[in-house]
Chain A
Amino acid sequence: MIELKQVTKQYGQAAVLKNITLSIDEPGIYCLLGRNGAGKTTLLKSIAGYQNITDGTIKVDGKAITTSTLDTGVSYIENFAKHFNLPVQKLLRIASEVNPSYDYDFASEMMERFELDGKKKFNHLSLGMKTMVSTMICLASNKEVILLDEPVLGFDAIMRVEFYDMLAESFQKHPRIIIVSTHIIEEIAKTIQKLIIIDKGSVRFFDTLQSVETKAFSISGLQKDVEAATQNLNIIGQDTVGGLVTSYIFDNPPKETAFLEVHPLSLQDFFIQMVGYKGGIRR
């Protein structure tokens, strides 16, 4: 269980995380979405105890997390994580030795599935393969909280599909909290259970993917018709093209009429509306 209470992180005068309160109680695969600079990495690093927060508290399984926590029970992997320049097989074995809960069989199986040459040294791997090795080590650690910071960066399309399968398998084998931050939204949708959207250091959305599917809609039509239909609904964005208005809602959709077009929002469109920016201009 992860519990964040009024978490604020400042770098000098700049607040990267602003008063975040969030509770992740159940095991599941959570997707952390946010624009570049939204505070995703800072949030994940703070939960992992890699850095201290300026204000508030972070608890993982009831244990307060700061840099002082010598054993956090959290496994975090970042892009371009450095490892010993050893053959991949040896690296995985060492990871199993230094981490008592490590699932070596899972890591070996994944190594074979991704056709990683176990004899190849880490520094000789491509960027995608390096990231894959780091991700495998992180998932095989079997810690109660797994944090993957943009793990698919540098992956080709096939590797990404295999990665999502690996994620799902790992979770099935050992259900726990897995948070994945990514920019490739639609692809991960099949794998995740819950979505966290952060923007400018604040949590904008935290709910199930199902709620997005059942409540996120676009309603298009003439301005007066759209306004009438969305009067008491939760509008998250709006576009106007000529005399036509499109309102984006996160609510129970109104009934489709001859004057209104109601369409479910894709995850990506929902995300764009939630963070509410286009071309640097707030909508």
Chain B
Amino acid sequence: MKAILAIAKRLIASDKISFIITALVVLCATSSGDVVLSNGNYTWLLAVLSPFFFVFYDFKKFIHLGASKRDYFFGCLISYGILAFCVSLVNTVIHLLVDPAYSARTVINLMDVCKWMENGIIAAGLQQMFFLLLVMIFLHVLLSMQTHWYGWLTDALLAAIICIFTPIAPLRAVLAGFFQMIMVNGNAVLHICICLLLSAALSLGGIVVLKRKTL
């Protein structure tokens, strides 16, 4: 466990570029008009950027330091959990303290769009956290596959699903239903359970991918 925690600590510490880019975007993003986007939304950028560095930049380095593949993977999962918590916390604080400052304008924060705020601030924060955890694990697995043919196949499949399901009304409803289930979900317990289940399933997939990973 000590090794896993040490890996998680180093993963987060070496994720400086993601932190800097996210901070810059959050601080510098501006909107005009009566309807503005909350700067807190941009904190999600960290959840998108971090898996890139964990997969492409850090993996080999940990193996060269003598870490095992297993410890690296669990270290990544713990890091994603910590990052999801931090991003969720920051966005929630921004939504509570900064967004109301735009009194004359309508501020759009994804926590409202996804109906999470209907369940109160704590439940909304948790929903956001587990959703971001799911996003990060999904990206981790997808990125880990990119050096193999099945990674490209998965990319093509995902693109095909979006391209085919979007224009055809019945299929679009299926796609919308899926996103409502994992993202725009007002039922906090159900949403968290779905995110956790999908995260667990993707993690198992991630182990399979890791087992095929060469150096």
Contacting pair B210 A94 (CB below 8 A): no
Taking the closest CB of chain A, its distance from the CB of B3, in whole angstroms, is 5
Q: Residue A6 at the B interface, CB < 8 A? A: no
Residues in chain B near residue A68, CB distance under 8 A: 211-212
How many residues in A have their beta carbons less than 8 Å from beta carbons of B? 28
Q: Can you name 12 A-B pairs with beta carbons within 8 Å?
A: A50-B214, A50-B215, A67-B213, A68-B212, A70-B207, A71-B69, A81-B64, A98-B65, A98-B67, A99-B3, A134-B64, A137-B66
Taking the closest CB of chain B, its distance from the CB of A171, in whole angstroms, is 18
Q: Residue B19 at the A interface, CB < 8 A? A: no
Q: Residue B70 at the A interface, CB < 8 A? A: yes
Main secondary structure of the interface of B (DSSP, over half): helix
Q: Residue A138 at the B interface, CB < 8 A? A: yes
Kindly state the separation between the CA atoms of A23 and B69 in the bound complex, as whole angstroms: 26
Please report which residues of chain B, range 185-215, place their CB below 8 angstroms from some CB of chain A when the two chains form the complex.
207, 210-215
- A98-B61 CB under 8 A given contacts A50-B215, A51-B214, A70-B68: no
Q: Mark B29-69, 1 if CB is under 8 A from A, else 0.
A: 00000000000000000000000000000001110111111
Contacting pair A70 B66 (CB below 8 A): no
Kindly state the separation between the CA atoms of A72 and B14 in the bound complex, as whole angstroms: 26
Contacting pair B215 A99 (CB below 8 A): no
Q: Mark A161-185, 1 if CB is under 8 A from B, else 0.
A: 0000000000000000000000000
Nearest A residue to B208, CB-CB:
A68
Contacting pair B212 A100 (CB below 8 A): no
Nearest B residue to A97, CB-CB:
B6
Q: Which of B2, B60, B212, B215 contacts A97 (CB 8 A)?
A: B2
Residues of B at the A interface (CB closer than 8 Å) are 2-3, 6-7, 10, 14, 60-62, 64-71, 73, 207, 210-215
Q: Residue A95 at the B interface, CB < 8 A? A: yes
Q: Which of B61, B68, B70 contacts A82 (CB 8 A)?
A: B61
Q: Mark A64-81, 1 if CB is under 8 A from B, else 0.
A: 000110111001010001
Nearest A residue to B213, CB-CB:
A67
Kindly state the separation between the CA atoms of A45 and B214 in the bound complex, as whole angstroms: 10
Contacting pair B10 A84 (CB below 8 A): yes
Known: A51-B214, A67-B214, A97-B10. 18 other contacts (CB 8 A): A52-B214, A67-B212, A68-B211, A70-B211, A71-B69, A71-B70, A75-B66, A77-B64, A83-B65, A84-B10, A84-B61, A95-B66, A98-B10, A98-B62, A98-B65, A99-B66, A100-B2, A141-B66
Contacting pair B211 A67 (CB below 8 A): yes
Taking the closest CB of chain B, its distance from the CB of A195, in whole angstroms, is 27
Contacting pair B66 A45 (CB below 8 A): no
Residues in chain B near residue A248, CB distance under 8 A: none
Residues in chain B near residue A50, CB distance under 8 A: 214-215
Q: Residue A40 at the B interface, CB < 8 A? A: no
Q: Residue A194 at the B interface, CB < 8 A? A: no
Kindly state the separation between the CA atoms of A52 and B207 in the bound complex, as whole angstroms: 17
Q: Mark A111-155, 1 if CB is under 8 A from B, else 0.
A: 000000000000000000000001001100101000000000000
Contacting pair B64 A98 (CB below 8 A): no
Contacting pair B61 A71 (CB below 8 A): no
Residues in chain B near residue A83, CB distance under 8 A: 61, 64-65
